[in-house]
Amino acid sequence: MPNPRRIRPVEAAHIAALIELGTETGLSHWAAHDYLSEIKAKNAIMLRLEADANHTVGFIVGRLITAADAVGIDAEIYNIAVSPTHQRRGNGQLLFDAFFERCREAGARRIWLEVRVSNEKAIAFYTHNSFVIQHLRKGLYHSPPEDGYLMSRTL
């Protein structure tokens, strides 16, 4: 049986689905205009995972950035979420693999992200994908207040 899951670009028409997924999965709130300005950003990488009937069951949002050495290219991940009913089935991995592929094509050498220290699921997922904690950032998050880890991996 063919696999019905597909990686697709995010367009303005999908923003409501992204906000709903973000709410369901407890992501830090992004308003519609946040997603819209990211869609318009030249260096953004925004992918969604589509299941049957064009239903969006996951997404990832990140950007290519200038590396710390001001010469190379790095990438940052701002958000990744998979619908609770679709988690632990390799869907986050499909999104990550597609994101990494875009980063490699662009010549990025390192990927960065931040995560709440209490978010054990996400930290396990990132560690499984070779991300390593670089720093503890005190008071990084608000609503509720919490420290965050800065994590990165090379490509």
Ligand X SMILES: CC(C)(COP(=O)(O)OP(=O)(O)OC[C@H]1O[C@@H](n2cnc3c(N)ncnc32)[C@H](O)[C@@H]1OP(=O)(O)O)[C@@H](O)C(=O)NCCC(=O)NCCS
121 touches ligand X (CB under 6 A): yes
87 near ligand X, rule: CB under 6 A: yes
Binding to ligand X by CB under 6 A, coded x per residue (else -) over 57-86, reads: -----------------------xxx----
Give 24's contacts (C-beta < 8 A, 6+ positions apart).
Answer: 81, 83, 84
Active site annotation includes 78: no
Closest listed residue to residue 99, CA positions, set 76, 69, 65, 133: 76
Question: Quick one: which of 8, 98, 117, 119 contacts ligand X (CB under 6 A)?
Answer: 119
What is the distance between the alpha carbons of residues 49 and 5, in angstroms, rounded to a whole number? Answer: 7
Cα–Cα distance for residue pair 48/51, rounded to 1 Å: 10
Candidate list 31, 124, 132, 136; residue touching ligand X; CB under 6 A: 124
Binding residues vs ligand X (CB under 6 A)? 25, 27, 80-82, 87-93, 115, 119, 121-122, 124-125, 128
